[in-house]
């Protein structure tokens, strides 16, 4: 890899999302019916897993800083997200409603840009189908995100690349009426 390339990382978010806050209070449904000893050990395990992934993410940024690599990292967005107040970088693009650009889910998402800057386009596409995160099939086991829930539609991918990475105006971009 060199500085002419672009690295786009959909970094694992399973331990950063807001439902982890419920886990750390010991009130998550996965911990119900277990002994206190079990709950405390699970919390320790999850805290270590989250710490590992967090350090790994910072290391990824550090590698790109030292080698001049352009990096875009995607992660879900909310004020309860672990990276909201615990990360040395701020997201440069926050998409609060992915359905506007053709994705299946609303799923607020943040994108961190490193050694590069986002463009801004307005390509809006009606999604081919709408889904709800709560209706998605669950992950195969605890700690693994549901595959269906992680799905990104090709329409959204294309619109995002054109609007926020390469700055390309697409033929079907919706006209804006000015008053």
Contacting residues toward other proteins, per CB under 8 A:
1-12, 56, 59-60, 62-63, 67-70, 90, 92-97, 100, 113, 116-120, 124, 145, 147, 150-154, 157-158, 161-162, 164-168, 174-177, 179
Distance CA 112, CA 144 (A): 23
Distance CA 12, CA 38 (A): 25
Rounded least distance, CB 21 to other proteins, Å: 23
* Residue 74 DSSP one-character state: E
- Closer to other proteins at the Cβ: 23 or 164? 164
- Closer to other proteins at the Cβ: 43 or 49? 49
Return the H-helix or E-strand segment holding 51. helix 36-67
Return the H-helix or E-strand segment holding 114. strand 109-114
Distance CA 146, CA 137 (A): 6
Rounded least distance, CB 42 to other proteins, Å: 22
- Closer to other proteins at the Cβ: 46 or 99? 99
- Closer to other proteins at the Cβ: 34 or 168? 168
Rounded least distance, CB 18 to other proteins, Å: 19
- Closer to other proteins at the Cβ: 14 or 31? 14
Rounded least distance, CB 4 to other proteins, Å: 3
Calculate the alpha carbon distances from 79 to 14, 75, 96 in Å. Answer: 16, 13, 12
Distance CA 20, CA 123 (A): 34
């Amino acid at each position: 890899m060199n500085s002419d390339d672009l690295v786009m990382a959909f970094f694992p978010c399973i331990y950063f999302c807001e439902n982890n806050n419920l886990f750390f209070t010991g009130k998550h449904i996965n911990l119900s019916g277990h002994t206190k000893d079990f709950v405390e050990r699970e919390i320790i395990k999850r805290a270590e897993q989250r710490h590992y992934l967090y350090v790994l993410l910072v290391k990824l940024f550090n590698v790109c800083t030292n080698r001049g690599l352009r990096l875009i990292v995607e992660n879900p967005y909310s004020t309860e997200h672990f990276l909201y107040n615990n990360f040395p970088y701020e997201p440069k693009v926050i998409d609060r409603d992915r359905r506007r650009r053709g994705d299946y889910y609303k799923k607020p998402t943040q994108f961190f840009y490193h050694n590069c800057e986002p463009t801004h386009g307005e390509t809006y596409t009606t999604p081919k189908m709408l889904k709800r995160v709560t209706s998605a099939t669950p992950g195969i086991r605890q700690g693994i995100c549901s595959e269906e829930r992680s799905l990104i539609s090709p329409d959204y991918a294309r619109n995002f690349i054109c609007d926020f990475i390469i700055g390309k105006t697409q033929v079907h971009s919706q006209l804006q009426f000015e008053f």
